[in-house]
Amino acid sequence: MNDVDQLTIREGPLGAVLAVKAVPGSSRDRVVGVLGDCLKVTTSAAPEKGKANAAIARILAAAMGVERRRVELVGGPASPRKEFRIEGLSAAEVRQALRKA
């Protein structure tokens, strides 16, 4: 994936925190690419009762090559712009994983 250097990724004490633009109710579950400073992720899950957030966490875990339990929503639970922490990965490791995705 190109443009990963434009992403907002903060270093946190437990891992990198990635800005995500969530698009629930889409036809496919996938990482679309970079949109501004966010990673655009689509999911077919509905935006109700945390279903879309859980689906996006699964999509991110697969893209990063980590277990689902290491991806946690830390900001924006009801907003299209969200923040997910990838436990145990640095910002550089997240960018590297996304370049391969």
Alpha-carbon distance of 14 to 27, in angstroms, equals: 33
- Give, to the nearest 10 degrees, the angle between helix 91-100 and helix 51-64: 80
Superfamily (CATH H level) for 4-100: YggU-like (3.30.1200.10)
User: Is residue 101's pLDDT more than 90?
Assistant: no
Convert the pLDDT of each residue in 14-58 to its tens digit. 999 999 999 999 999 999 999 999 999 999 999 999 999 999 999
What's residue 1's pLDDT?
Answer: 83
The full set of domain ranges for the chain reads 4-100
